[in-house]
Amino acid sequence: MKKNIYKIIAVLFFLSAPAFYSQVNIEDQIRLAQGYEQAGQLSKAEEIYKQLCNIQQWNGQLTELLNRVYISQKKYSESIELLTNRIKQVPTDLNLYGLLGSTYYMLGQLQNAYDCWEKAIAASPSSYISFRIAANYAIENRDYPKAIEYLKRGEKFTPDPTIFSYDLANLYAVNMKFKEAVNEFCAIIILHPEQTQIIKSRIVSYLNKPDAGVQTVQAINELIDSKPLAELYDLLASVYMGIGDYENAFHTVVSLEEKFKSNGSYIFTFAQEAFRNQQYEWAAKAFEYIFNNSSNSQFIQIAKIGNARSLEAALDKKFFRQNNSWKPYSTPAPLFTNEYKNIINAYEEFLKQYPNDAANVEALYRIAKIFGDRIFDYTNAINFYERIINISQTSSYTIKSNIELGKIYIQKNDLDRASLYFEKAKNFPQVEPNDLSEAAYYIACIQFWKGDFTGSITLLNSCSKNLSVDFTNDALELSSIITATKKDSLNLFKFAKADLFALQNKYKEAGIEFKTLSDDSNLFLINNFAKINFAEILIAENNYSEAFKILGELMNDRKIAIFAEKSTFLLAQCYQYGTGDLNKAVEIYQKLLETFPNSLYFDRVRGELNSIQQQSERK
């Protein structure tokens, strides 16, 4: 009995083997044909696909592959014949009607194409799938109005019309019919509020197109009148922000808060978004609204410190504009002192109200920064930084406070004490890469100023390995100066002394040292480094005419690219911000991009050119 069973199994395996190997062979042939396609040998691919189609006439994949080769060779008649025959064999295959319609469309026979797609729909008239298939083929041929027609018809055959809404909205947007697109998106929100965030991102993606913002705002407002849903108010606020209208966005969110009593959640989200987009005035208003109008809100404490932080950031923008922050060196001068003191009072009020809040360390740090970097009251700044260090042993603000104290003591010319603070920051557990790089950089600078060039270069090499941190370029620049000129230690030490004077805002002393070195043509590299630094001192003193001479000379000297690149950028900055000659600035920026296509300044130059263009358009 067992022998008979084995015989039966052997016979079955023998009979099935040819089919198995035939299928393997077909797959190999498909791969071979696809290789010919990729190589551009379409006629060879066509022959293989034709042979395979004759073997497996039922195989829809092979039909599509052969049709694709026909279309690539513009053999439209062959395509029509192939697809027509296949439809006769399989009249329920909707895809075949779609492909045949596409062939007619390519021939310009639009009515024949539409007839084919209608036949696809007729083959399964009660299913929305057939309408989607017809629409997809219309989309492939960029016949968007026809695709919209099919999708609108298909909505009637589905229990959830929003199945088609995403496709319809996208098609309307492509055709600049933004009002219709918004209606489709809002239809989704009304039935599926959980998809609001997805729809926000879809709408924001096309708001930069002409008239998109106006149409979108109008459409949402009209819908709100009939369906005043929280999600639609939220969407409208998002659209206002997307077009830069933060005033109307704020008022929309306030209306949302008042109508739906969300206890501050929507306006808090708006405040955070406004702050991220540097709309500090509106962020401050939103935070203020929370603690003035939502007495039980969970966001009150964070709103109070957020309000102070927003007011500070808004004032900082004014401070930097008037303090010539574009200059490599700029004389620090206290501005808006009373306004900054009001912000300090706001932080101190927060500390009194919430003595045990986790944000207290941040409030103390912000007070210290204002005293040190805006009012230039180093005594108060030191007291607050020391207070942070004493009360918080593990906070990142402790690391930052040590770094800021180090900077203050550099200004006070107490380099040993400054170095101690930087060392504390550098050796702090779990220090962030950027803080580590900054602390290491300043320690290296102190060693450089003291004449320890070997120790300095070792530290600079270590803190320039991570290219993603802020101080990498500074470290690389100082490292190149030391490496190139350390054999002339006497003049390098003079350069280091001048560099310290410049950082301490002692421009007269720094200028004398840099000029002496720059006038000595025998020094070669130190001479050029000193020239560019002397030009930076001249810029700090608003002596642009003399700075232009030096920078122009270095810019046109192609022997050492590092000087030419930096000088070109500085020269453009002087014309843009110093003398206000925007045309000349644009000319030099463009020259930098042409001469140094891989420039370290590339992103900054593109940003400045965009800023100048926007400034010109506003005029």
Query: Which residue, among 444, 426, 424, has the nearest Cα to 436 in the 3D structure?
Result: 426
Query: Which residue, among 541, 562, 566, has the nearest Cα to 551 in the 3D structure?
Result: 566
User: Stretch 539-546: mean pLDDT, rounded?
Assistant: 94
pLDDT digits (tens, 9 = 90+) for 225-238: 999 999 999 999 99
Q: How far apart are the first and last CA of the chain?
A: 100
Q: Give Cα 170 to chain centroid, integer Å.
A: 23
Dihedral (CA of 27, 29, 32, 33) sign: negative
Kindly report the average pLDDT of the chain as a whole number.
90
Above 90 in pLDDT, residue 497? yes
Distance CA 259, CA 458 (A): 63
Q: Under CATH, which number does the domain 494-618 receive? A: 1.25.40.10
- At 17 the pLDDT is 37
Question: Which burial class, exposed, middle or buried, applies to 454 when counting CB atoms under 10 A from its CB (0-12, 13-18, 19+)?
Answer: exposed
- At 5 the pLDDT is 43
Largest CA distance in the chain: 112
> What is the CATH T-level fold of the domain 159-261, as seen in this structure?
1.25.40
pLDDT digits (tens, 9 = 90+) for 53-103: 888 888 889 899 999 999 999 999 999 999 999 999 999 889 999 999 999
Is residue 413 left, alpha or beta, with left meaning phi > 0 and alpha meaning psi from -120 to 50? left
CB 440 within 8 A of CB 462: yes
Distance CA 314, CA 132 (A): 51
- At 619 the pLDDT is 61
Instruction: Kindly write down the DSSP assignment for every residue of 81-138, as one continuous string.
Output: HHHHHHHHH-TT-HHHHHHHHHHHHHTT-HHHHHHHHHHHHHHSTT-HHHHHHHHHHH
Distance CA 607, CA 601 (A): 10
Count of CB atoms within 10 A of residue 102's CB? 21
Most trustworthy range by pLDDT among 36-40, 61-65, 260-264, 505-509? 505-509
Where is average pLDDT lowest: 3-17, 56-70, 139-153, 322-336?
3-17
Distance CA 319, CA 327 (A): 14
Above 60 in pLDDT, residue 13? no
Residue that has been written with the tokens 């077009």 in this structure: 243
494-618 matches 159-261 in CATH topology: yes
User: Stretch 125-139: mean pLDDT, rounded?
Assistant: 89
- Rounded to two decimals, the pTM is 0.78
Residues 76/82/87/89 CA torsion (nearest 10 deg): 170
CB 312 within 8 A of CB 366: yes
Q: Please enumerate, as own/partner, the contacts of 358-361 that have beta carbons within 8 Å and a separation of 24 or more.
A: 359/301, 359/302, 359/305, 361/388, 361/391, 361/392, 361/395, 361/397
Per-domain residue ranges of the chain: 159-261, 494-618
Q: What angle do CA 403, 408, 410 make, to 5 degrees?
A: 95
Where is average pLDDT lowest: 18-27, 329-338, 374-383?
18-27
Query: Which residue, among 162, 229, 241, 167, has the nearest Cα to 204 in the 3D structure?
Result: 241
